Amino acid sequence: MIVPRARETTIPANAAIITAPLLYRPTCSDCIHARTDLSPKEIDNYLTAIATRLELHRVIGRCRVCGNTGPVFSLHLDAA
């Protein structure tokens, strides 16, 4: 499932701490929290902001960090 893009907004400057891991592998919110120490609400806010500019995917699958199955997030960037 592709998370619909919201209205055009800017991505917070420190959103890279979430964005970078999602480029390499699908990651669950628990692993995002463990890596960033952000609260679940902050993670949700960042993912919402990121989805306004990048193609954010949320699917049920295996987290490539911890191996658990559940909702995982990843980014898709066009090669162009």
DSSP E strand stretches across the chain? 55-62, 69-76
pLDDT at position 5 is: 54
Residue 70 is part of a domain; what is its CATH number? 1.10.10
Over the stretch 16-74, which tens digit does the pLDDT of each residue have? 888 888 888 999 999 999 988 889 999 999 999 888 888 999 999 999 999 999 999 99
Number of domains into which the chain is organized: 1
* Full-model pTM: 0.76
pLDDT at position 54 is: 87
Does residue 5 lie in a domain region? no
Q: Is 9 helix (H, G, I), strand (E, B) or coil?
A: coil
Q: Note down the domain range covering 21.
A: 13-76
User: How far is the CA of 54 from the CAs of 8, 27, 76, in angstroms?
Assistant: 11, 16, 7
Does residue 3 lie in a domain region? no
Note whether 31 and 70 are within 8 A (CB). no
